[in-house]
Amino acid sequence: MAPVVGIDTASIKDTNLKDLLDLLEGVRGKKVLFLDRTLSGPIGLFAKFSVLQDYGVDKIFWLDEPVTEHAQKNIVYLARCTVKNAYAIANQIKNNAKIPGQEFEYSVFLTPRRTLVCDKIFEDEGILGEITIRELPLYFLPLEPDLLSLELESSFEELYLRKDHTSIFYSARALMSIQRRHGLFPRIIGKGDRARKLADQLIRMRTEEDVEDGTGPGSLTPSSVLGELIVIDREVDFVTPLMTQLTYEGLIDETIGINNCKIELDASLVGPPQPQTQSGNVDGASSSRSPVPTASQKKRPVLLSSEDKLFDNLRDTNFAIVGSLLNKVARRLNEDYEGRHQAKTVSEIRQFVSKLGGLQQEHQSLRLHTGLAEEIMKQTRSEMFNKALEVQQNLVAGVDPSTMHDNIEELIARAAPLESVLRLLCIESFISGGLKPKDFENFKKEILQAYGYQHVLTLDALEKLGFFQSRITVAASTATRTSYTNLRKPLRLIVDEVNEHEPDDISYVYSGYAPLSIRLVQCVVQKPLMTAAVKGRRGEDGTNAGVNAGAVGWRGFEDILKSVKGTTFDEPQRGEEKAVRARNILNGQNDKKVTVVFFLGGCTFTEISALRFIGRREDAKRQIVIGTTAIINGNNIMKAAMA
Amino acid sequence: MTSAVSATADWEQLEDRFYRKILLYSELFGPDYDLNDYQIAGAPFSGAIALYKNDDVLQEFRSGAAQTKPSIEIYSSAGKLIRRIAYDKGPIRGLGWSEDEKLLVIAEDGTVRCYSDLQGDFTQFSLGHGVEMVRVKEVRFWSTGFVALLRTNRLVAVSRYDEPRPKYLADPSPYIEDAVIHSWAIIPPAYTLSRHVEVLLSTGSTIIVLDPTDAQDQDLQNGPFTNISVSPNGKYVALYTTQGKLWVIKADFQDKLSEYDSGMGSVILPRTVEWCGNDSVVIAWDDEVHMVGPQGHSLKHYYESRVHLIPDIDGVRLITSDKCELFQKVPDVTEDIFKIGATSPASILLDAVDQLEKKSPKADDNIQLIRSHLTEAVDTCIKAAGHEFSVYWQKQLLKAASFGKSVPALYSSDDFVDMCETLRVLNAVRYFEVGLPITYEQFIRLTPEKLIQRLVNRQQHLLALRVSEHLRLPTDRIYIHWACMKVRQSTDDEDSICRTVVAKLQGKRGISFEEIARTAYDEGRGRLATQLLNYEPQAGRQVPLLLNMEEDEIALDKAIESGDTDLVFFVLLHLKKKHPLANFFRIINDRPFAAALVESSARETDLELLKDFYYQDDRRADGAHVILRESMEAKDLQLKLEKLKVATKLLSDSKDHVLEAKALDESAKLLHMQETFERELNERFMGISVNDTIFRLIRTGYSSRALKVKNEFRVPEKRYWWLRLRALVAKRDWNEIEEWGKTKKSPVGWEPFFNECLAAGNTKVAAGFVGKCSNLGYKERLDMYMRCGLVLRAAEEASKGKDLEALEGLRSKAVGRDMVEVERLIKILKGGK
């Protein structure tokens, strides 16, 4: 990845760690830590267990674990500021009070902030006087130098199913922290009703900050580092996450599941213990309770990050070519090892030995990824996987959906995972504006009989979400829908000739389907290319700059955007003339600016890959940093509906 | 203080250094104010002084004012009354200050009051843990907390006042001889290794050091000690023995640094022992004061009445009823300049100014003399000016600096300018009307912001504003405080108060009208509060106050406007508690943002509320779903079915949910069937789906029952075939499969048979189905045979398809007899051509 010139994500990481350690240091002596399960992954991203140990953490338990004996006097809770957690903490403390002869000192660290509601619960439960409450302001967690996530696992469910806007508020806070550091985004561009809410919240926070901050010499001024902020509401394009991701990282996520950059693998695949992942991340901690797993079933967490150079090369490529890439690396590695025979003189041998560590590491990583690719291959070769793939590709391409129904029914009869069946049905519903009433009822019946009647609730949730609907419902509602039929042509959502080896278009991430969400981003950042597409010509590297070269925001695509669900907006943020100039003089006028693309409601690995692809193309003009509330895929979405 | 008295007039030499006693203010309390009767506490950094009439002394009546109600009086160092606070919590055991000039009053029963702004507003908390039974004996304070000694000899520490958490320290009782603590002191947390407050207790002949977890005996032999005092930097401890000796040791009890015999023997014990800076100790008896230097020599002073000592970081204030003095070591720079016979460059520079004023040419001679040290001399003069209380000498020193700095070609005047600015501020606050005799060093430690806060607390708004502007500091707090005071004290009508406040504050950055409105509300001026609140720019901030004012719906709207879900939720909790349910629902129903929050949280924590919510909103289907969820979670079959029935009933009321109602009916039917199967077959069925039931029945060999389920639930033929196929393969019932394969037509085609059998590893049975796949081309069939490893059969297919190329390709794969046969087929095909 390119060296960081714009947003310094590493420093965000450092700040997160420092904040946590400061809190721990505030509690004198050894302590027992009770951790919110959903936080272990996010915290593992920046803090190792050994570091926590250095700061006196003696033992870690899950917050929902019943623990009746405590070795330490200090008990620390670290949890998200939810109502549920507040009650869990209160109950534990009240239970501990029944332990005779022991007195405890309680500290409660809430993240990302201390809330009035938690305070109120603690007060009502009568423990407010016994605890010291502090807050740990975790907002953005850098997953990669170009990828910031809030890691709010349930943000999708909250936003769209529960209509709870907490994650909008947190997203605004997170983006605000970037604005506070680097200045205002000169423009906030976006699509979708909730995206609009986020933009409003950002603007509100900015004005409030202006009022609040009596000390500052001036209000926030537009940044000279940042370019535009593009907010994409997930609602704008639900089809993309429902499709099966076909990049390497995307497929790992689809088949094994990536959580907070980590996957759980059979120990046999990982090979000999890797010191860096083994020596304990936070989540490996609570071994006290879990039954001793037998050696064969033992899973081991593996961190997937760009620090693994091989993975960094593979992650964004289409899975079809991963095999040959691995092959190439294997051969090169072999040659490198063979190099030892050429080493004749002592200094040559020394040179070789000094390379050896790197080679071994590479070897290790090669073994891991070969194993992983094989594991995935088992799935991608299966008949059911291919059948599902075929159905979805046909659906997005606009083939008459009724021809696909036999296939879907067969998948149901063969007990394919419910998630994958529902994903297909939802894609159909989105693309063709709902299912025909007869089909709709038939599939409902099929699913209930095949997977159980409890899925009445799942189907209801999907209907409420607008994922799986009958045409009657669709026709009756006044809400606008994203019309893939209208957009397919002008935005070139379907690309027939895909070059997976040397991709020339983002559609390679789904082997032929270009994610709508990213096409929209392209409308802003690659105007010439997209204009050409709209006019019907194949986009030829933007030689046809045309009239729109200097246009900004959505300019030139207003009509197309009418076929996409939700509000369209483009808000310039201006500052005082003088302050802007001062800032420009101080920082120099950067030609290359950072564009932040923020996904409200989550994004997929394929979308990240596609944006990186665009980023490489646009390298001269801008750097793209991706922000998201969480990383999602179709299975997560379906699981949310099933909950 | 402005006259040209010699700068050294108040100096005294002790050992190799000089001390000075500066008269800060005179005519303090007047002669008839007998300080003997008072407990006195002074705030650090030359802050206010609190007086409280001692309970121990017999109450006596003073002329005129009968002491009916006990009260605490707060005075400035200049003896100006700032506030008299009525106090009715019984005997006071602790009176002290925090570094931000909060007054702490601890009553015998453990009630702590924290007066935050010198104006009588306080917050109150209790030391808790049954202290009210045990009683507080004494209290010691540090900059941000205090330790209270109880009558049981236990100690309780409070380390912050915004969220006080009284904590017991370790129990010292096992170490205490005869349960008598002779004296005690604390080391503030900033200076201890444990970063927690430590306590030194004198008992028997030794000293116990106590922290939250541990007590440690220091094994001293020279006790008991009647007084213990810890130096401001926490490094040294002064101990006064019953033999009248003063010991100074290091705080780690390793080295004894000096010993001093007061000559008082064991007869007259001192009232207090305090540190003056970090290098000398002041011992005060009723009217006699000894200042003991590092080598154990002393200076003695005598007074006419009792002297109270108020220690500070760089000196000690001496308070008697008629004057306030500062006792401190003469700062090094000052000593350098003014010491008799001083020849330092700075002192020569000062002399040069004198000569200059006399228009003597010696002025220039002086400059030439120190030319190479001029910068140093100027710096020293500037610093010394800061340490000077006399305006005359400040001016002289600054003049010298100004004269000196004009000589070198390059001299940065920043320090000079800063000092001029600072001295203006210091002189202004030292003025007796204000009465803050702060030293330069204290000012630097305290920071200008906190000094301004002190001015604000003394209602010196104009001065605070001027100082802020002079030092280019924010002024918002001053305006807010002013407005709050205005709201509280003005007797004008509410409209004109609002107008005055708004006129003054509008357009100023960082002004929180919420705070002002809250003050108005607390004063009972509700309408004024509402008016002011409208000017608050942050919607979120308005909410808590609106709730207090019972403007519930406005509060909810403002919370929603802020976009902060926590705030909305907080208001909702409040409303739910306060209003009848129907009313609560009415409020949220037309606010979707709030309704969604109620819905999603009720889903997690309060299902009954959720049902009520759906019911009143006529959302039957949603209500039914809640009950369905309950049914699913129910363990008991009967309960499950009952709940299911209720849900079905609710759903069938609405015509949009006919299908769902039917599904739930089916599900009840399935449960009944499953119960029967479980009873009859001794196999688990409960809770699995229709498909899984059929699958399991076939796999365990109960096909007829499976068929019954199929018919009951009208499972389509296709799906049933798939289920049966998969179940039989799983059962490995190949006979049955082959038997079944004799059927003429399959609704799913025959490839699934081939695929499933092959996947299960039975190539023989699988191969049997290839021939039935008549819908496929010969190539596919060829391929299928190959996958079964049947080269010959594959070859036959090739020959049927007359595909010579494929046939020749097969030749290499065939072995033995098969090869011969393949050759034959090739020959036939070639021949036939």
Contact check, Cβ <8 Å, A453/B600:
no
pLDDT at res. A529: 86
Query: Does residue A54 lie within any of the structural domains?
Result: yes
Cβ–Cβ < 8 Å for B382, B415: yes
Q: For the purposes of burial, counting CB atoms within 10 Å of the CB of B412, is it exposed (0-12), middle (13-18) or buried (19 or more)?
A: exposed
Residues on chain A touching B670 (C-beta within 8 angstroms): 453
Contact check, Cβ <8 Å, B563/A197:
yes
Question: What is this structure's pTM?
Answer: 0.80
Considering chain B, what percentage of its residues have pLDDT values greater than 70?
A: 97
Contact check, Cβ <8 Å, B628/A457:
yes
Same domain, A360 and A435: no
How big is the A-B interface in CB pairs under 8 Å?
A: 147
User: In B112-142, which positions are buried (b, 16+ CB within 10 angstroms) versus exposed (e)?
Assistant: bbbbbbbbeebeebebeeebeebebbbbbbb
- Based on the structure, what is the number of domains in chain A? 4
* Confidence band of B223 (pLDDT split at 50, 70, 90): confident
Range with the poorest average pLDDT among A509-518, A570-579, B109-118, B144-153: A570-579
Distance CA(B828)–CA(A489), nearest Å, equals 55
Query: Does residue A483 lie within any of the structural domains?
Result: no
DSSP state of A164: -
Mean pLDDT (chain B, rounded): 86
Contact check, Cβ <8 Å, B511/A81:
no
Distance CA(B643)–CA(B623), nearest Å, equals 12
pLDDT at res. B220: 83
Same domain, A113 and A67: yes
pLDDT in tens, A185-205: 999 999 999 999 999 999 988
Cβ–Cβ < 8 Å for A452, B688: yes
Contact check, Cβ <8 Å, A412/B628:
no
Query: For residue B766, how far is the Cα from the chain centroid?
Result: 71
Contact check, Cβ <8 Å, A448/B663:
yes
B669 residue type, one letter: K
Cβ–Cβ < 8 Å for B209, B197: no
Contact check, Cβ <8 Å, B600/A208:
no
Same domain, A124 and A28: yes
pLDDT in tens, A307-353: 899 999 999 999 999 999 999 999 998 888 887 787 778 888 888 88
pLDDT at res. A276: 42
Same domain, A394 and A377: no
Residues on chain A touching B605 (C-beta within 8 angstroms): 83-84, 87
Would residue B30 be called left, alpha or beta, if left means φ above 0 and alpha means ψ between -120 and 50 degrees?
A: left
pLDDT at res. A285: 44
* Confidence band of B55 (pLDDT split at 50, 70, 90): low
* Confidence band of A590 (pLDDT split at 50, 70, 90): low
Only one residue has tokens 């038997």, namely B739
Contact check, Cβ <8 Å, B688/A452:
yes
CA–CA min distance B119, chain A (Å): 25
Same domain, A349 and A415: no
Same domain, A216 and A313: no
Nearest residue in chain A measured CA to CA from B659: A441
Same domain, A576 and A619: yes
How many residues are there in chain B? 833
* Confidence band of B6 (pLDDT split at 50, 70, 90): confident
Q: Which of A211, A450, A451 sits opposite B538 (nearest CB)?
A: A211
Contact check, Cβ <8 Å, A211/B128:
no
Query: Does residue A504 lie within any of the structural domains?
Result: no
Contact check, Cβ <8 Å, B476/A214:
yes
**Averaged pLDDT for residues B97-109:** 90
pLDDT at res. A582: 66
Residues on chain B touching A576 (C-beta within 8 angstroms): none
Cβ–Cβ < 8 Å for A221, A580: yes
Query: Does residue A177 lie within any of the structural domains?
Result: yes
pLDDT at res. A493: 93
pLDDT in tens, B647-680: 999 888 877 888 889 999 999 999 999 999 999 9
Same domain, A14 and A131: yes
Q: A410: part of which helix (H) or strand (E)? A: helix A405-413
Range with the poorest average pLDDT among A98-102, A269-273, B238-242: A269-273
Domain boundary among A360, A381, A402: A381
How many residues are there in chain A? 643
Contact check, Cβ <8 Å, A453/B666:
yes
**Averaged pLDDT for residues B674-688:** 91
Residue A316, CA distances (Å) to A307, A438, A508, A611 in order: 15, 41, 10, 10
pLDDT in tens, A348-393: 888 888 888 888 888 889 999 999 999 999 999 998 999 999 999 9
pLDDT at res. A461: 94
Distance CA(A531)–CA(A546), nearest Å, equals 8
pLDDT at res. A297: 54
CA–CA min distance A288, chain B (Å): 28
CA–CA min distance A188, chain B (Å): 18
Q: For the purposes of burial, counting CB atoms within 10 Å of the CB of B409, is it exposed (0-12), middle (13-18) or buried (19 or more)?
A: exposed
Query: Does residue A558 lie within any of the structural domains?
Result: no
ipTM, two decimals: 0.88
CATH code of the domain in which A350 resides? 3.90.830.10
Mean pLDDT (chain A, rounded): 86
Query: Which of B683, B15, B78 lies closest to B437 in space, CA to CA?
Result: B78
Q: Which residue has the higher pLDDT, A283 or A5?
A: A5
Same domain, A318 and A365: yes
Residues on chain A touching B563 (C-beta within 8 angstroms): 165, 168-169, 172, 197, 200-201, 204
Same domain, A412 and A457: yes
> CB B496: neighbour CB atoms within 10 A?
10
User: In B362-390, which positions are buried (b, 16+ CB within 10 angstroms) versus exposed (e)?
Assistant: ebeebbebbeebbbebbbbbbbbbbbbbb
Contact check, Cβ <8 Å, B566/A413:
no
**Averaged pLDDT for residues A49-76:** 86
Contact check, Cβ <8 Å, B628/A116:
no
Q: Which of B537, B664, B722 sits opposite A208 (nearest CB)?
A: B537
Q: For the purposes of burial, counting CB atoms within 10 Å of the CB of A381, is it exposed (0-12), middle (13-18) or buried (19 or more)?
A: exposed
CATH code of the domain in which A42 resides? 3.40.50.2060
Q: Which of B564, B691, B719 sits opposite A169 (nearest CB)?
A: B564
pLDDT at res. A536: 59
Residues on chain A touching B564 (C-beta within 8 angstroms): 169
Contact check, Cβ <8 Å, B600/A169:
no
CA–CA min distance B812, chain A (Å): 27
CATH code of the domain in which A609 resides? 3.40.50.1910
Gyration radius of chain A over CA positions: 26
pLDDT at res. B195: 79
Q: Which residue has the higher pLDDT, A540 or A483?
A: A483
- Where is mean pLDDT largest: A431-445, A569-583, B782-796? A431-445
Query: Which of A426, A403, A392 lies closest to A510 in space, CA to CA?
Result: A392
CA–CA min distance B167, chain A (Å): 9
Cβ–Cβ < 8 Å for B405, B411: yes
* Confidence band of A576 (pLDDT split at 50, 70, 90): low
DSSP state of A171: H
Domain boundary among A476, A491, A519: A476
For residue A206, give its domain range.
Answer: 143-237+563-642
Q: Which residue has the higher pLDDT, A482 or A278?
A: A482
Residues on chain B touching A410 (C-beta within 8 angstroms): 718, 722, 748
Residues on chain B touching A450 (C-beta within 8 angstroms): 689-691, 719
Residues on chain B touching A464 (C-beta within 8 angstroms): none
pLDDT at A277 over 70: no
Strand, helix or coil for residue B505: helix
Best residue in B129, B154, B198, B660 for a mutation probing chain A (most A CBs within 10 Å): B660
Residues on chain B touching A105 (C-beta within 8 angstroms): 167
**Averaged pLDDT for residues A503-527:** 93
CA–CA min distance A634, chain B (Å): 23
CATH code of the domain in which A393 resides? 1.25.40.850
Query: Does residue A151 lie within any of the structural domains?
Result: yes
Query: Which of B183, B171, B267 lies closest to B212 in space, CA to CA?
Result: B171
pLDDT in tens, A211-236: 665 444 445 778 878 889 999 999 99
CA–CA min distance B124, chain A (Å): 13
Same domain, A27 and A114: yes
Query: Which of A33, A68, A65, A71 lies closest to A52 in space, CA to CA?
Result: A33
Same domain, A456 and A387: yes
CA–CA min distance B115, chain A (Å): 20
Query: Does residue A599 lie within any of the structural domains?
Result: yes
- Asked whether the bond before A401 is cis by omega within 30 degrees of 0, the reply is no
Nearest residue in chain B measured CA to CA from A201: B563
Query: Does residue A398 lie within any of the structural domains?
Result: yes
pLDDT at res. A101: 72
> CB A616: neighbour CB atoms within 10 A?
11
pLDDT at res. A542: 43
Best residue in A193, A453, A464 for a mutation probing chain B (most B CBs within 10 Å): A453
Best residue in A121, A169, A456, A469 for a mutation probing chain B (most B CBs within 10 Å): A456
Cβ–Cβ < 8 Å for A139, A170: yes
**Averaged pLDDT for residues B512-525:** 86
Which residues, at least 6 apart from B706, have a Cβ–Cβ distance to it below 8 Å?
B693, B694, B697, B698, B724, B727
Best residue in B593, B620, B722 for a mutation probing chain A (most A CBs within 10 Å): B722
CA–CA min distance A163, chain B (Å): 6
Cβ–Cβ < 8 Å for B199, B186: yes
Domain boundary among A322, A354, A381: A381
* Confidence band of B542 (pLDDT split at 50, 70, 90): confident
Cβ–Cβ < 8 Å for A150, A630: yes
Q: B122: part of which helix (H) or strand (E)? A: strand B122-126
pLDDT at res. B9: 81
